Amino acid sequence: MTVMTGKEALMELLNRNKVKYVFGLPGATEVVFMDALEKHPEIKFILGLNEAVAIAMAEGYSRITGDAAVINLHTHTGLAASMGMLDNANRGRVPLVVTAGQQPTHMLIQEPPLFGDMVKMAATVTKWSTEVHNAVDIPTIFQRAFKIALQPPAGPVFISLPYDVLNQNLDLNIPLIW
């Protein structure tokens, strides 16, 4: 049994998918993600001037390499700012795995600042859109995300990452689904 946190499992899954770069513009809800990324120097973070620029850089990278590019955005507002470029990637059939930090799950019912139904919003311009509700779902969700993004016709997928879920523990001894 390999017990680790959700953020550690996420980094392991990015490594398994041979991710070399994460594009984005982080904020407070992405601190957990960025903390984990800092411990993995083999994955470089490419900072965008704004969220639309981060999506555009990732789209260019994906078009050149054929790989699914990974993007990490700042909450509902970051996703909203990237919607135009995300729609372009969707129409252009570019494989992207887009994540955004979400408020802690225990706060969602209160609709705190920077909260929004990102899953519903992203569904309009992606092949698949979901939110992680428990760390044990991280392996399945991320494996599925890469598979869906790359499966013809390729296109972007979206994953909402609540702050607290990335700190939960899970057993990463899971079979790969492909």
The CATH classification number of 3-171 equals: 3.40.50.970
pLDDT at 31: 87
Check pLDDT > 90 for residue 104: no
Cβ burial of 164 (10 Å; 0-12, 13-18, 19+) is: middle
For residues 11-25, average pLDDT: 94
Q: Which residue has the higher pLDDT, 31 or 116?
A: 31
Query: Is residue 178 very low, low, confident or very high in pLDDT (cuts 50, 70, 90)?
Result: very low
Closest CA to 131 of 155, 154, 113, 108: 108
pTM: 0.92
Edge-to-edge strands of the sheet including 96-102?
A: 44-47, 21-24, 69-73, 96-102, 157-162, 128-131
Please report, to the nearest 10 degrees, the dihedral formed by the alpha carbons of residues 135, 137, 139, 140 taken in order.
Answer: -170
Check pLDDT > 70 for residue 110: no
Cis peptide before 153 (omega within 30 of 0): yes
For residues 107-111, average pLDDT: 66
Distance CA 156, CA 146 (A): 9
Q: Which residue has the higher pLDDT, 8 or 177?
A: 8
pLDDT at 14: 95
